[in-house]
Amino acid sequence: MENRTPVMNSRIFLLLFALGITFCSEAQFYNNEVEASIALEVLDNSILQIVGSAYNKTEINKSLRYDLSIIKGNSSDTNKSKSTQDGHFVLEPGVKKNLATTSINAEEGIRTIILLLIYDEENSIVGKDRKLLNGLEGEEDTVRQEVLQIAESDVQDSKKDGYILRGMVIENTKTKGGSDFYDMFYSSYLARNINGEEIVKIDEKLAIANNTQIQVVVGDNVVMQFIMNPRNQYLEQMADQAIYRVNLYFQQLRNRKNQIIRY
């Protein structure tokens, strides 16, 4: 540790100084319900470790997706590069979860934007954090504009290629039993790697005599519905049936598409 040259010490100092610079002018528009956070740490071998996380500030489960991007080079550079990690996740109330971890060389000296975006089930940005490394003094407005362009581009790309429609399970429950059913269903959905082409929605509606009814909707089609009973064994049985019917729906959908292609 003590044998570092003055140049290396200077670089590390400037890097650590840069890590403390965050841009908070848009905080009033984002991070109200789900807070995005980027943690940075310079390791002993001068590698910068990057960890993106999300914190659910609400009292309900959130079905979300994230993009953690590293953009190197100025906006005018022809060799500007971008690498991204992304994925879907469910975040329980009051829980903070690490979403992705990556690393870069801390001594490269290249202007780098680290950006974490969190989207809700409607593909709207609800959480955002960003860091600028090796930037120039006074370029906050430039970086802000670049981040907006990146976010808009990600939304357009997801709409264009249907990415947001794959593997999405939306929760709209009203009771603890409904939320428990959603958790059971979604855990099984992920474990079986169904990754359906249409959005699946778990919808809980009022029924007769103050009861509620669970509807499992794929796209615009109700594939299963039942009257809520909060018993754990009953919910597990219903979740198993719902998974079977949803999976069958997607298999039939793929078969129809294959028949259309052949003819």
pLDDT of 254 strictly over 60: yes
CATH number at 6-160: 2.60.40.2420
Residue 13 vs residues 20, 21, 44, 52, 252: alpha-carbon distances, Å: 11, 13, 14, 23, 59
Contact 132, 145 (CB under 8 A): no
Q: What is the pTM of this model?
A: 0.49
The average confidence (pLDDT) of the chain is: 76
- The residue count of the chain comes to 263
Q: Check residue 37 and give its pLDDT.
A: 93
pLDDT in tens, 187-225: 888 888 787 878 888 988 888 878 899 999 998 899 999
Instruction: Name the residue among 117, 109, 62, 132 with its Cα closest to residue 85.
Output: 117
What is the rounded CA–CA span in Å between residue 263 and residue 243?
A: 31
pLDDT in tens, 49-96: 899 999 999 989 888 989 888 888 765 554 567 778 888 888 999 999
So what's the architecture of 166-262 in CATH?
2-Layer Sandwich (3.30)
pLDDT in tens, 100-158: 888 888 666 778 888 899 988 877 888 988 887 776 545 554 555 555 555 555 544 44
Domain ranges of the chain: 6-160, 166-262
Query: Residue 175 is encoded by which pair of tokens?
Result: 């009771």
